[in-house]
Amino acid sequence: MSHGQPNETSGFETRAIHAGQPPDPATGSVITPVYLTSTYVQEQVGITKGYEYSRTGNPTRTALEECIASLEGGKHGLAFASGMAAITTLLLAALKPGDHVVLADDVYGGTYRLFNRTFKEYGVEFTLADMTHPDEVEAAVTPATRMLWAETPTNPLLKVLDIAALARIADAHNARLVVDNTFASPYLQRPLELGANVVLHSATKYLGGHSDVVLGLIVTSDELIRGKLAFNQNSIGAVPGPLDSYLVLRGIKTLAVRMREHSANAQRLAEYLETHPKVVRVYYPGLPSHPQYEVAKKQMSMPGGMLSFDIAGGEEAALKFVSCTRVFALAESLGGVESLIEHPGAMTHASLAGSPIEIGPALIRLSVGIESADDLLADLDQAFAQV
Ligand code: P1T
């Protein structure tokens, strides 16, 4: 490793702290500066130091783009104003009217809404498939299919999709496999290494890690997609500012240690919930009872910090429970150091109401933070006592 510049053999933790972030050449600043500028002086027309306008490129954003590409094991990283901005730019870059997408039947409510309400208007069709069953995916493919869209683990039911198996199906049909890796983060799972063509993040979640920024990231080694994405990143302009880019860069430095704690805490809570008399079912890939436990062990280094459960007593008990916790804050989003609780049916996945993939009213989702596991367990215990 030369000063501040990791190579391909450097470990994940080293790359998380240093990739794309050599000491600032102008000052020696160890930390990448926040380049708060919209524009860059040109010596003569077209003679620049590599930057001309901050929608097109900004050095703080470049550092983040290089860092995420390194962590996902891909050639190119691109940053966007939000996860949804990343998804929108990708769909506009990769699809045209008449194209068809096979969409996982459990995805973030906003992703479903974007396909179902926004892109449908522009002639992009989709079919939902339970992607835990490869034959269902095969059956959903049509001659117009250009993309398989997977999330794994899925939001909010924590289904684990076999990325390598999906990549084989995509390949066989000349379609691209996109994996939304938000729930796992590259520390737990690297979809490109398993054959995915594009990996996408709501960096608002684990990559940022502190619930203080909204940002989206895409990584790909596919040159055609990269070219179209880079063009559209500038042409559409849904880019993050330098301060937001900096916040995610800072968050990523501790990603590995945070994910280890998130995962250990979630495992403990999942095991507690599984034996609780007021819990009907727990959804957590770290439990041997999880239907894709073996797939999770194969493609993830740890099961992660997200879990869901069905509470006994249906919607009434669920709505009561989520307002009874004291350490877990009732809020949308996930992946921060602090624990959050929510009711997907009425909150993050309300846009699925009335659809074939509506979320059950008894489902509660936890984003398990890195507070003391004893405190988290006691908090759930006192909330159960009130329902
Ligand atoms: O919120 P934004 O940064 O635009 O990212 C959208 C998004 C994309 N993909 C997944 C898997 C997500 O979970 C999200 C956002 N999800 C929430 C806000 C949530 O609470 O589930």
Closest Cα partner for 94 from 239, 238, 200, 229?
229
Label residue 3 by pLDDT band (50, 70, 90). Answer: low
pTM of the model as a whole: 0.98
CATH code 3.40.640.10 region(s) in the chain = 12-252
The CB-based long-range contact list for 112-116 (8 Å cut-off, 24+ gap) reads 112/349, 112/351, 112/352, 112/355, 112/357, 113/351, 114/84, 114/87, 114/88, 115/149, 116/351, 116/355
Q: Which of 89, 107, 151, 155 to mutate to test the pocket of ligand 1 (most atoms within 8 A of CB)?
A: 155
pLDDT at 4 over 60: no
**Given this model, what pLDDT does residue 8 score?**
77
Percent helix, percent strand, percent coil in the chain, to nearest 5: 40, 15, 45
Q: How many Å apart are CA 218 and CA 384, to the nearest integer?
A: 40
3-state secondary structure of 17: helix
Task: Average the pLDDT over 369-379 and give the result.
Answer: 98
Portion of the chain with pLDDT greater than 90, in percent: 97
Label residue 7 by pLDDT band (50, 70, 90). Answer: confident
Task: Average the pLDDT over 338-349 and give the result.
Answer: 98
Task: Average the pLDDT over 102-113 and give the result.
Answer: 97
Q: At what angle do helices 83-94 and 223-236 cross, to 10 degrees?
A: 120
Nearest CA to ligand 1 atom 3: 83
Is 35 in the active site?
Answer: no
CATH of segment(s) 256-384: 3.90.1150.10
pLDDT at 114 over 80: yes
Ligand 1 pocket (Cβ < 6 Å) reads 82-84, 108, 110-111, 151, 155, 180, 182, 202, 204, 214, 216, 332-334, 348
Is 284 in the active site?
Answer: no
Portion of the chain with pLDDT greater than 70, in percent: 99
Label residue 312 by pLDDT band (50, 70, 90). Answer: very high
> Average model confidence (pLDDT) for the chain?
97
CATH of segment(s) 12-252: 3.40.640.10
Token pair belonging to 14: 């080293």
Label residue 230 by pLDDT band (50, 70, 90). Answer: very high
pLDDT at 2 over 60: no
Label residue 104 by pLDDT band (50, 70, 90). Answer: very high
Task: Average the pLDDT over 208-212 and give the result.
Answer: 98
Q: Which of 176, 205, 226, 365 is catalytic?
A: 205
Nearest CA to ligand 1 atom 10: 108
**Given this model, what pLDDT does residue 5 score?**
82
Label residue 133 by pLDDT band (50, 70, 90). Answer: very high
Query: Which element (helix H / strand E) includes 297?
Result: helix 293-299
Tell me: the pLDDT tens digits for 22-64? 999 889 999 999 999 999 999 999 999 999 999 999 999 999 9
Token pair belonging to 124: 């992009």
pLDDT at 331 over 90: yes
**Given this model, what pLDDT does residue 131 score?**
98
**Given this model, what pLDDT does residue 328 score?**
98
Task: Average the pLDDT over 83-90 and give the result.
Answer: 98
Choose the weakest-confidence range: 22-26, 237-241, 262-266: 22-26
What is the number of the ligand 1 atom nearest to the C-alpha of 86? 4
For residues 204, 209, 211, 214, the Cα torsion angle rounded to the nearest 10 degrees is -20
Task: Average the pLDDT over 90-103 and give the result.
Answer: 98
Tell me: the pLDDT tens digits for 152-166? 999 999 999 999 999
Is 55 in the active site?
Answer: yes
Task: Average the pLDDT over 342-349 and give the result.
Answer: 97
Label residue 379 by pLDDT band (50, 70, 90). Answer: very high
CATH code 3.90.1150.10 region(s) in the chain = 256-384
Does residue 149 contact residue 103 with C-beta atoms inside 8 Å?
Answer: yes
